[in-house]
Chain A
Amino acid sequence: MALSQLASSSPSRSVNLLKPLLSAISLHRPISTDTTPITVETSVPFTAHQCEAPSRTVQTNAQELLNFFRDMAVMRRMEIAADSLYKAKLIRGFCHLYDGQEAVAVGMEAALTKKDCIITSYRDHCTFVGRDGTLLEVFAELMGRQAGCSKGKGGSMHFYKKDSNFYGGHGIVGAQVPLGCGLAFAQKYCKDEAVTFALYGDGAANQGQLFEALNISALWNLPAILVCENNHYGMGTAEWRAAKSPAYYKRGDYAPGLKVDGMDALAVKQACAFAKEHALKNGPIILEMDTYRYHGHSMSDPGSTYRTRDEITGVRQERDPIERIRKLILLHDLATEKELKDIEKEVRKEVDDAIAQAKENPVPEPSKLFSDVYAKGLGVESFGADRKEVRATLA
């Protein structure tokens, strides 16, 4: 089947700089498991601060590229579905969407293992999925149901998956950076030979506690990688209005930094692998991911009062991370357009099924109001709004 499809999309017709290294023979194998190496160049070279930039030549393969495509398609579809659910009032409160930024989550996972830790801000849905969170856990949590990853107690900003070393999900801008450095401290203390990626935005990049944590991490040589997901807007404030120096990869001063095209999953992968190796030996490093969010800051922000619609559509046309991978896959004949469309259809169904399942899932039991206040409740009493009516003993 692969061969016949290949005949219809012969590579010899398109002349370009990047040709598949192997001929049609390799396509005998099912496309999703082909690990024959493919070499690709990143969109732009890396810009380095206080270190030597890694090569812009990245090793990948069909399996990885197709996984990138699928994973990003899941994330994209999930966030768009969350938008609809929010407008239908099934999701309440805050909802910060990540569509446009998928390459960061996906490229990072390709460079890490689940022994490495990730901690991020409130824009955490896709990062959670990257750490093996399920769609049901996402939608159920967003809708405040029992099957949610935090059993409905957390909400959009408080997704966690400790068994995959994903530490949330934090609502206070910038707080996750010292916390992430603390994770790195613990990894070093336990001699785990693993690293922590602490993600934050261009808005959080000016937080004092970030510099406090970076200072300590550098003094103590902690395996901490600070990743600035620079989507160029801190809520409604453009980076040049908030930062005297928006060269976030340089803001670490004594700490090395790298500026990365955050819309290129392979560039992200390369940078993260480089950063991991660096941090294990030499302590903290900053990665600035040049990325973009299509949605506003949150569902209550249209996202068009502080930037033009032309800008948004421009990025979507020129730099969309999923389209980049799609073009790469087609260029190397790793799959046909129809196969990719089928994947997207499959993904859409997966997302719809998860939403349907989440909608059926019950809300938490009223007794759960008082659960998990403490890990060890000591039989202490707690109270509801009317303490003569509602009291509980904390286990």
Chain B
Amino acid sequence: MLGVVRQKMLGQSLPKIRPVVSVLRSYSSAAKQMTVRDALNSALDEEMSADPKVFLMGEEVGEYQGAYKISKGLLDKYGPERVRDTPITEAGFAGIGVGAAYYGLKPVVEFMTFNFSMQAIDHIINSAAKSNYMSAGQMSVPIVFRGPNGAAAGVGAQHSQCYAAWYASCPGLKVLTPYSSEDARGLLKAAIRDPDPVVFLENELLYGESFPVSDEVLDSSFCLPIGKAKIERVGRDVTITAFSKMVGHALKAAEILEKDGIDAEVINLRSIRPLDRSTINASVRKTNRLITVEEGFPQHGVGAEICASVVEESFAYLDAPVERIAGADIPMPYAANLERMAVPQVEDIVRAAKRACYRSVPLAAAA
């Protein structure tokens, strides 16, 4: 139902699902645009085409074409054996997916949102993440758990949580957080090819966003390395780390900061586990100031880990305390004005960066 709402909201026509590579080559100077939705769809399509062991499983992935249309066209192309609609039983179908991975298949298990993954979290952690270790290498689990993560718009407390910190704390998992279409394509392909369990955290609000994609990105062999962050914007004065939707916010904040003479370096983490500590630390050693940005709850969050890492590795290089911008420490409210206050906004990032640069006294929060 949500997927249908989404379609109505997107007034413009979506680009074709299959990348039109040959047309591109003759227009190599014009940047092709691709939505994150199409990026994910094309990545799934190509990996299913390349490896018959890859199959997709989840609620509404088949006949409904995907709750958010990520799997559009795949049932028609690959048939019901490889695109499986499941009942609304996350614990059951996640366990079945892990069992299939034990046998050697490569399941892509979709959670309609990661909030529902909590019903299956025992299988993600105890059946998938830990198996290779407990079996001393006998039972590898080449599975991908994917779906939208974090806040959408007005969906309330039970449908808005970010699970990056939870999953990334668990050894044995790999946790990826694409931002752009390039990220979506490259990281999903890498995740499907990877022999370990990967938690692939997408973002519903990014599905409809378009990004430029090069020929290289559109090639079916394109793949991004797992565990490497991307410096989206090079800067000198302050490092801003972010992932998923917050990368967009950080880039906007950087534009605003530039007008005030602050040159921000924006790091798109891409991978929460493994965390690219060396890129983060190298950046902080250059800029001497760090803002971490995330959408999820602040306590024990991704920013806390990044801060600890920088304090451990690059303490002498810090000219200001590390600043954390995160979701508010409350369940997500529904009212639009409250919701806006519960999620980081661009101005929050700007303010924190200025604090880190000028050491201005922070304003007390409104009671």
What A residues does B140 contact at CB under 8 A? 375
Q: What distance in Å separates the Cβ of B198 from its nearest Cβ neighbour in chain A?
A: 11
11 more CB-based (< 8 A) A-B contacts, given A169-B135, A180-B99, A216-B87: A153-B136, A154-B135, A154-B136, A160-B138, A161-B138, A162-B138, A167-B102, A172-B122, A182-B96, A209-B89, A381-B277
What A residues does B226 contact at CB under 8 A? 378
Q: Which residue in chain A gives the minimum CB-CB distance to B55?
A: A189
Contact of A215 among B92, B227, B274 (CB under 8 A): B92
Residues of A within 8 A of B (CB): 117, 119, 150-154, 158, 160-162, 167-172, 175, 177-187, 189-190, 208-209, 211-213, 215-216, 219-220, 371-376, 378-382, 387-388
Q: What distance in Å separates the Cβ of A279 from its nearest Cβ neighbour in chain B?
A: 15
Contact of B95 among A161, A179, A215 (CB under 8 A): A179
Given A178-B91, A181-B99, A182-B103; A372-B132 close (CB under 8 Å): yes
Let me know if A150 and B136 touch, CB within 8 A.
yes
Given A374-B196, A376-B195; A216-B135 close (CB under 8 Å): no
- B153-187: CB near A (< 8 Å → 1, else 0) gives 00000000000000000011010000000000000
Let me know if A170 and B127 touch, CB within 8 A.
yes
CA distance A161 to B133 in the complex (A): 14
Interface residue ranges of B13-61 to A (CB < 8 Å): 55
Contact of B123 among A161, A175, A211 (CB under 8 A): A175
Interface residue ranges of B292-313 to A (CB < 8 Å): 312
Contact of A178 among B123, B136, B137 (CB under 8 A): B123
Q: Which residue in chain B gives the minimum CB-CB distance to A211?
A: B92
Given A178-B123, A185-B99, A189-B55; A209-B135 close (CB under 8 Å): no
Cross-chain pairs A/B with CB under 8 angstroms, 25 sampled: A117-B103, A152-B136, A154-B136, A158-B134, A158-B135, A160-B138, A171-B126, A175-B123, A178-B94, A178-B98, A180-B99, A182-B101, A185-B99, A186-B99, A187-B103, A212-B89, A212-B91, A213-B95, A219-B87, A371-B137, A373-B133, A374-B132, A375-B142, A376-B194, A380-B274
CB of B81 within 8 Å of the partner chain:
yes
CB of B97 within 8 Å of the partner chain:
yes
Q: Which residue in chain A gives the minimum CB-CB distance to B275?
A: A380
- B77-116: CB near A (< 8 Å → 1, else 0) gives 0000100101101011111111111111100000000000
Q: What distance in Å separates the Cβ of B171 from its nearest Cβ neighbour in chain A?
A: 5
CA distance A185 to B86 in the complex (A): 13
CA distance A3 to B122 in the complex (A): 60
Interface residue ranges of B301-352 to A (CB < 8 Å): 312
CA distance A172 to B128 in the complex (A): 12
Q: Which residue in chain B gives the minimum CB-CB distance to A213?
A: B92
What B residues does A209 contact at CB under 8 A? 89, 91-92, 95
What B residues does A171 contact at CB under 8 A? 126
CB of B139 within 8 Å of the partner chain:
yes
CA distance A388 to B313 in the complex (A): 10
What B residues does A183 contact at CB under 8 A? 99-100, 102-103
Let me know if A216 and B92 touch, CB within 8 A.
yes
CA distance A117 to B104 in the complex (A): 13
A-B contact count (CB 8 A): 159
Interface size on B, residues (CB 8 A): 48
Q: Which residue in chain B gives the minimum CB-CB distance to A175?
A: B127
Q: What distance in Å separates the Cβ of A368 from its nearest Cβ neighbour in chain B?
A: 8
Contact of A189 among B81, B93, B137, B138 (CB under 8 A): B81
What A residues does B139 contact at CB under 8 A? 160, 162, 167-168
Let me know if B99 and A178 touch, CB within 8 A.
yes
CA distance A158 to B196 in the complex (A): 19
What B residues does A167 contact at CB under 8 A? 99, 102, 139
What B residues does A372 contact at CB under 8 A? 132-133, 135-137
Let me know if A182 and B98 touch, CB within 8 A.
yes
CA distance A211 to B93 in the complex (A): 11
- B193-227: CB near A (< 8 Å → 1, else 0) gives 01110000000000000000000000000000111
What B residues does A376 contact at CB under 8 A? 194-196
Given A154-B135, A378-B226; A215-B89 close (CB under 8 Å): yes
Given A151-B136, A160-B135, A179-B127; A186-B87 close (CB under 8 Å): no
Contact of A374 among B81, B92, B172, B312 (CB under 8 A): B172
Q: What distance in Å separates the Cβ of B351 from its nearest Cβ neighbour in chain A?
A: 32
CA distance A151 to B135 in the complex (A): 8
Given A212-B89, A219-B87, A381-B277; A185-B100 close (CB under 8 Å): yes
In order of increasing CB-CB distance, the 5 nearest A-B pairs are A182-B99, A178-B95, A212-B92, A186-B103, A212-B89
CA distance A169 to B138 in the complex (A): 12
Let me know if B227 and A175 touch, CB within 8 A.
no
Let me know if A179 and B89 touch, CB within 8 A.
no
Q: Which residue in chain B gives the minimum CB-CB distance to A182?
A: B99
CA distance A224 to B32 in the complex (A): 48
What A residues does B195 contact at CB under 8 A? 374-376
What B residues does A119 contact at CB under 8 A? 99
Let me know if B87 and A182 touch, CB within 8 A.
no
Let me know if B137 and A375 touch, CB within 8 A.
yes
CA distance A182 to B95 in the complex (A): 7
What B residues does A211 contact at CB under 8 A? 92
CA distance A180 to B95 in the complex (A): 8
Q: What distance in Å separates the Cβ of B20 from its nearest Cβ neighbour in chain A?
A: 32
Contact of B138 among A117, A150, A381 (CB under 8 A): A150
Let me know if A150 and B101 touch, CB within 8 A.
no
